[in-house]
Amino acid sequence: MSDKTPVHVAIIMDGNGRWALSLGKNRTYGHYIGSKVVDKITKAASGIGIKYLTLYTFSTENWKRPKSEIRFIISLLNIYLKKTEKLFCENNIKFNFIGNIKAFPEKTQNILQSVTQKTKHNETMTLTLALNYGSRLEITQACKKIAKDAKEGKLSIKDISEGTINSYLCTKGMPDVDLLIRTGSEKRISNFLLWEASYAEFVFLDKYWPEFTKSDFIKAIKEFKKRQRNFGGLRQTIKLFNGTS
Ligand code: FPP
């Protein structure tokens, strides 16, 4: 794929629990299969020239889940990272994370830092996992840092621009989201990349995340390519009522 391929695709991987329950299995089985789908979609995305893939893996709200489910997701994350390091190296993928990982066990934090370090020179695609991430918290923390820097004279209030805010977010250096995909039938953004997805195109799917395939992903990209993006401007130059254009 070439022209109009989205640079940054973000995914809300929803429906693991419901998928597992529909098969009479435990919710955690859904997360386990969901982690395998992550690998498939990561490979597919890097293969078609996506430069940034960002996955909502654990939200700031997910701590409300039963402790046993949280423990399972964290241990799955540890296993996934160790196992997937190879895939990152073979496919030249840079691994990255956003969110406050200090809330995770030290072992998980260490693995996250280590995989990030080992893959930092890879350049085909950046895979970012959003971990203990919430957009409102991200924006609140950015505001606090901006206020502190302004108070300390490192920043002048009159110079604060959208670019300044971008540079205080944990997505600093990443382009805006072009396409946001959500599986699992719900049609909401759930505190994910609110600032970064301001002009994103949305694709909602009725499939649960464990059922999501490479072909669904390609279909979503094709759908994106058909969309007319105006960024608040006009579709095309039109004649105004007084004849000017
Ligand atoms: C939403 O399904 C999914 C999550 C809260 C976590 C996403 C986690 C994975 C895809 C698996 C782990 C991934 C890695 C990389 C280790 P849900 O439980 O909210 O589903 P439901 O809406 O059916 O309850």
The model's pLDDT over 108-167, given as tens digits with 9 standing for 90+, comes to 999 999 999 999 999 999 999 999 999 999 999 999 999 999 999 999 999 999 999 999
CA distance 28 to 68: 9
Establish if 245 belongs to a structural domain.
no
Q: For residues 20 and 211, is the Cβ–Cβ distance under 8 A?
A: no
Establish if 47 belongs to a structural domain.
yes
Establish if 240 belongs to a structural domain.
no
84 CA: nearest ligand 1 atom: 15
Domain at 171, CATH number: 3.40.1180.10
In short, whether 210's Cβ falls inside 6 Å of ligand 1 is: no
Task: Say if residue 241's pLDDT is above 60.
Answer: no
Establish if 164 belongs to a structural domain.
yes
Residue nearest to atom 20 of ligand 1 (CA): 15
pLDDT digits (tens, 9 = 90+) for 25-40: 999 999 999 999 999 9
Domain that holds residue 171: 8-226
The SS3 of residue 8 is: strand
**Residue 223 burial (C-beta neighbours within 10 Å; 0-12, 13-18, 19+):** middle
In short, whether 101's Cβ falls inside 6 Å of ligand 1 is: no
Question: In the structure encoding, which two tokens stand for residue 110, read together?
Answer: 């260490």
CA distance 92 to 226: 29
Indicate the DSSP class of residue 41. Answer: H
Predicted TM-score of the model (pTM): 0.93
- The Å distance, Cα 163 to ligand 1 centre, comes to 32
Residues known to be catalytic: 14, 62
Domains: count for the chain:
1
In short, whether 6's Cβ falls inside 6 Å of ligand 1 is: no
pLDDT digits (tens, 9 = 90+) for 83-111: 999 999 999 999 999 999 999 999 999 99
- The Å distance, Cα 1 to ligand 1 centre, comes to 29
Q: Is the dihedral of CA 62, 63, 68, 72 positive or negative?
A: positive
